[in-house]
A and B are shown apart, each in its own frame.
Chain A
Amino acid sequence: MALTTLWVVVEPSSDSFSTTSLELLSHARTLATNVAAVTWGDGESLGAQAGEYGATTLYNVGPLDGALPGVPVAAAIQALIAAVGAPDALLIPNSYDGRDIAGRLSARLDRPVLTNATGLNDDGGLVTEHPVFGGSLTVRAKFTGAGPGIVVVRAKSFAAEPSGGSPATVVAAPAGDTGASGSAVIVVSHVEERTGPKLEDATVVVSGGRGLGEAGAYELIEELAKLLHGAAGASRAIVDAGWVPYSHQVGQTGKTVKPLVYLACGISGATQHMVGMKGSKNIVAINKDADAPIFQIADLGIVGDVHKVLPALIDALKARS
């Protein structure tokens, strides 16, 4: 049975939707004739944008009054399904809140959730694609049994392209039953100052790994990123070690980046890292271990000590400016 109806969870992000949300809407409209979006917060004003990217209806859960989105949004979707019937599948961005919504909804509907999807096709029903083992294999999967499938999709899996569609009809979603599980509330939000482009949007990404030797050496990564008007990333190893915050992490656990050039400095190339950056247009690797797996996918490999190569590179770039 071919796909007819898809719902896309679209996350509010300042006065718009998150980029991944728009990517999912754009792809959903190539798969199904009926695409609805589900959002929360100040959704009233976003019907035009939802429509432009392919949704005909925008279900708005409304203000959450400080509650974490997972429970109230999943509860509203469950109530919506009871009211208007279930879609063939729900597509949810891979983000902090997206994963919460997916998990909550899965248990509420007693339906499975497939995560880390990077491809979605209609092959007599929804077929999802997932990179495994560092992206060396692609697993295709499909849902069985009655009820909607729930798919969590990684960022940058599809292009966000406006369709020129007319504004989506904004419909208030019924409030669901949140129960005691909805009692986690946000007291205050802290925005960490950042300079330069976002990691996901940067043309140049400079990432550091365990080869830096110590936390202080990450300054070299930040300085180089700044000189190249890029963003600074990190491998899981140094995030786990507490050298840099999780928000810098590139990989399976962390962000997917596809910059024009990715500079991997002191990163060996664990499969968990590769899956987050192997889509980069160009890859430069600097590592003292000539056998490091990262060299197998690097367009330019420098076998050398990052503590020598990076300062020389920084000096060379400064001399040019």
Chain B
Amino acid sequence: MNIVVCVKQIPDPAAPQSFDASNNLNRSGKLILDEADTYGVEMALQLVDKSGGGEVTVVSMGSAADVAGLRNALAMGAAKAVIVSDDSLRGTDALGTAKVLAAVIRRDSFDLVLAATESSDGYTGTTPVQLAELLGLPSITFAKAVTVEGSSLKVSRQTEAGFDEITAPLPALVTVTAGVVEPRYASFKGIMAAKSKPLEVLSVADLGLEGQVGISGAREVIVSVEAVESRQGGEKYVDDGDGAAKVVAFLESIKVL
């Protein structure tokens, strides 16, 4: 089976985040493959393996100035990568992103689209479902286990109370939660092989989406950005064996005990 995995290269989440002059997230530094996406890549590789044939394609949108994150996915075992990179995409919102990804994914046949539940920089969490709607696919979000039997999909989906077992016909779109599989580390051989794997860079014009995406396609605007008054820390003690007693005294003072 052929699986498309939507991935995003993001600024290192451990580094401080900031906005640029036009209130877009500052992405000028080094970009990495969002860790949340590594679970989708791993799951896709395992499902393709089990099916006995086919390949994994990673699809992305964003700056192609740094493609280390995509090379990382290729090094894990994906066969090829496609990234849509265009200055006119600055300010594209979640729906615009879904339109771009849909235009790329429509170009080839596929059995399954995987994505993370949300990215670790924007946290919007709606792009995959918007993409499913644009592609006319059923979608199952928050998957904690995915199996394929013939032309149907079985998914355990996280719920408030526990989990649901869901079935859907293929093709379909699934978002996977973190921790569902253990993403492999790229081997040296994989890293070397990734260097010669196809990595296609597309423009907005290549997809015929001029005017529909970017800041002009986004129909929401930022009115203001304001600092929030920060909460003040209280007392801090180094534990000398009396740390537990300090906590007990605090809990008594607020009448929890």
Contacts and interface: CB of A to CB of B under 8 A. Distances in A.
Given A115-B126, A184-B172, A106 B254 contact: no
Interface string A260-286: 110100000011100000100110101
Interface in B105-160: 117-118, 120, 123-134, 136-142, 144, 157-160
A17 B134 CA distance: 30
A181 to B, nearest CB: 5
B95 to A, nearest CB: 5
B167 A187 contact: yes
B129 to A, nearest CB: 3
A131 B225 CA distance: 10
Contacts of B250: 282, 284, 299-300
A149 B95 CA distance: 13
B87 interface: no
Nearest to B128: A103
Most buried by B among A100, A142, A228, A261: A100
A290 B236 CA distance: 9
Interface stretch (B49-57, B65-73, B195-203, B226-234): B226-234
B256 interface: yes
B160 A247 contact: yes
Interface string B223-255: 111111011111111110101111110110010
Contacts of A133: 17-18
B192 interface: no
B42 interface: no
B236 A298 contact: yes
B126 A300 contact: no
Nearest to A241: B179
B169 to A, nearest CB: 6
A138 interface: yes
Contact of B142 (A96, A203, A263, A297): A96
Contacts of A160: none
B142 A312 contact: no
Contact of B228 (A127, A137, A305): A137
Interface in A105-151: 106-108, 110-116, 123, 127, 131-133, 135-145, 149
Given A295-B236, A298-B234, A103 B158 contact: no
A298 to B, nearest CB: 6
Contact of A301 (B18, B125, B163, B235): B235
B168 interface: yes
A298 B250 CA distance: 12
**B interface majority secondary structure:** mixed
B236 A104 contact: no
A113 to B, nearest CB: 5
B223 A99 contact: no
A113 B94 contact: yes
Interface stretch (A36-44, A47-55, A162-170, A189-197): A189-197
A39 B37 CA distance: 33
Interface residues of A, number: 98
A136 B132 CA distance: 33
Interface stretch (B1-9, B75-83, B214-222): B214-222
B220 A114 contact: yes
Given A136-B228, A312-B244, A181 B236 contact: no
Nearest to B93: A112
Contacts of A137: 225-228
B139 A316 contact: no
Nearest to B25: A132
Given A136-B230, A145-B219, A182 B247 contact: no
Contact of B222 (A74, A139, A149, A203): A139
B159 A309 contact: no
A62 to B, nearest CB: 20
A1 interface: no
Contacts of A111: 95, 219
Contact of A184 (B98, B138, B162, B256): B138
Nearest to B249: A300
Contacts of B172: 184
Listed from nearest, the 10 A-B pairs whose CB atoms lie closest are A304-B239, A103-B129, A107-B133, A312-B244, A301-B236, A192-B162, A184-B168, A299-B234, A145-B219, A240-B178
7 contacts: A99-B126, A136-B228, A138-B225, A191-B162, A239-B178, A246-B178, A253-B118
Given A112-B95, A137-B225, A139-B222, 20 more contacts: A74-B133, A99-B125, A99-B126, A113-B94, A116-B124, A142-B221, A180-B138, A183-B138, A183-B169, A187-B165, A188-B164, A191-B161, A247-B158, A260-B254, A297-B230, A298-B236, A300-B250, A303-B239, A304-B238, A309-B239
Interface of B: 13, 17-18, 23, 35, 93-95, 98, 117-118, 120, 123-134, 136-142, 144, 157-169, 172, 177-180, 182, 218-228, 230-239, 241, 243-248, 250-251, 254, 256-257
